[in-house]
């Protein structure tokens, strides 16, 4: 269950640099989280983090004897916003490294940067772009989050390739590694997209008011019953 | 005007945590054991990792297995359940602290009404 960069794959200077970027980024996100979180969203954010931890343990098979699992950055960003979502994923990555020896301790900065910063923010931008093109319905929000989540996985594999190009210790060229990484992660991206869209749909069906990425939906446009005029007026 | 909640927050959180525990305890032990994307590329392209293994390989839950529990599925399931609990507590606690920290020194009273987050606070 280790998608995470182990110790020694990227040399120390690059890892340390990524550590500085990751610490700064998560610090900024924590400040924003304090500003943006309301009383109801504190436990929801905790749940988002716990759910992503659990879902990351469930590896699904993709072609050719390889597996993939959810990264969850876009799921978190759509549910609780990109700043809070980034912290949710960062907590998961830290718990995995320190408690479960998954992902190197020296590579923690790299793993936080890729999974907790690149994925939620890059993916959330894509989500916002897609959402703007689609009609304002729950289906659109779920579809946009799925597509953006898939895109974000490829983005994360690209981020790894850049890190490898800067400080990789292996003999293979960055181009070879990049092509292989993106090739595998395009397949994993499909799984990420499906899981993200389904999870967002489930939350939208029960607590649409909690979904950060669906705040633009009024009560009257979001359910088929309401569209037919059957919704209760409130 | 916000979409109306269908279930109470407490029930929603309980259901969400239950799903997470089921995933970690019951599904994860039966998940694919094939190397994941990065591990596969690292193997195929001969990318090294530290020969010493992980610095924390000796912790009681290293490798998503609880030391001393010999049934593989149970060991992974218990480790996952511990992880879900710790992650929920850590993230929830962290968010509660940053929220309180932000609110304590002279925040404008308009922000204190947690039940009605105004649309102009969105950003991001």
Q: Which residues of B touch A232 (CB under 8 A)?
A: 4
Number of domains in chain A: 1
Q: For each successive 10 residues of chain A (234 residues), what is the average pLDDT? A: 78 95 98 93 97 97 91 98 98 97 94 97 98 96 98 96 93 93 95 98 95 83 46 40
In a domain, A31, yes or no: yes
Asked if A219 lies within 8 A of B87 by C-beta distance, the reply is no
Q: Across the interface, which of B86, B91, B102 has its CB nearest the CB of A45?
A: B91
* ipTM for the complex shown: 0.90
Measured between CB atoms, does A55 come within 8 Å of chain B? yes
Please, which residues 99-128 of chain A have a Cβ atom closer than 8 Å to chain B?
99-102, 104-106, 124
Q: Which of residues 129-148 of A touch B (CB under 8 A)?
A: none
Nearest to A34 by CA among B76, B60, B96: B96
Decide if A234 and B62 are in contact by the 8 Å CB cutoff: no
State residue B57's pLDDT score: 85
Residues of B in contact with A45 (CB under 8 A): 91-92, 95
Parent domain of A16: 12-211
CATH number at residue A137: 1.10.1760.20
Is A1 domain-assigned? no
Is residue A216 domain-resident?
A: no
Print pLDDT tens along chain B (124 aa).
556 777 899 999 999 999 999 999 999 999 999 989 999 999 888 887 776 778 888 889 999 999 999 999 999 999 999 999 999 999 999 999 999 988 876 544 444 444 444 444 444 3
In a domain, A136, yes or no: yes
In a domain, A217, yes or no: no
In a domain, A139, yes or no: yes
Question: Which pLDDT value is given to residue B116?
Answer: 47
Query: Are residues B6 and A35, on separate chains, in Cβ contact within 8 Å?
Result: no
Task: Answer whether residue A26 is part of any domain.
Answer: yes
The span from the CA of A55 to the CA of B82, in Å, is 14
The beta-strand segments (E) located in chain A are 60-62, 66-68
CB distance A57–B24 less than 8 Å? yes
């Amino acid at each position: 269950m280790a998608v995470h960069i182990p110790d020694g794959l990227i040399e120390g200077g690059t890892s340390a640099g990524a550590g500085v970027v990751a610490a700064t980024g998560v610090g900024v996100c924590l400040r924003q989280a304090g500003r943006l979180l309301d009383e109801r969203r504190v436990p929801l954010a905790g749940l988002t983090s716990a759910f992503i931890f659990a879902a990351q343990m469930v590896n699904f098979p993709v072609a050719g004897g390889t597996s993939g699992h959810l990264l969850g950055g876009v799921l978190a960003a759509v549910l609780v916003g990109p700043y809070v979502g980034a912290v949710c994923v960062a907590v998961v990555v830290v718990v995995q490294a320190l408690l479960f020896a998954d992902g190197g301790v020296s590579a923690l900065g790299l793993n936080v940067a890729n999974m907790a910063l690149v994925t939620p923010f890059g993916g959330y931008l894509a989500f916002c772009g897609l959402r703007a093109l689609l009609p304002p319905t729950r289906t659109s929000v779920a579809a946009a989050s799925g597509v953006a989540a898939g895109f974000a996985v490829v983005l994360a594999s690209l981020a790894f390739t850049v890190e490898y190009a800067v400080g990789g210790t292996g003999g293979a060229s960055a181009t070879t590694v990049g092509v292989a990484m993106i090739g595998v992660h395009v397949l994993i991206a499909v799984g990420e997209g499906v899981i993200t869209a389904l999870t967002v749909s489930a939350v939208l069906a029960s607590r649409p008011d909690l979904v950060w990425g669906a705040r633009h939906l009024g009560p009257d446009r979001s359910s088929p019953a309401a569209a037919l005029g059957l919704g209760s007026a409130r | 005007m916000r979409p109306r909640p269908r279930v109470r927050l407490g029930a929603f959180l309980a259901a969400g945590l239950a799903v997470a525990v089921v995933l970690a305890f019951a599904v994860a032990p039966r998940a694919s054991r094939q190397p994941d994307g990065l591990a596969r590329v690292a193997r195929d392209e001969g990318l090294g990792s530290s020969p010493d293994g992980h610095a924390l390989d000796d912790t009681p839950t290293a490798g998503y297995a609880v030391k001393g529990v010999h049934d593989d599925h149970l060991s992974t399931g218990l480790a996952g359940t511990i992880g879900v609990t710790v992650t929920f507590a850590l993230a929830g606690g962290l968010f509660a602290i940053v929220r309180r920290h932000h609110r304590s020194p002279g925040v404008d009273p308009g922000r204190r009404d947690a039940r009605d987050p105004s649309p102009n606070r969105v950003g991001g």
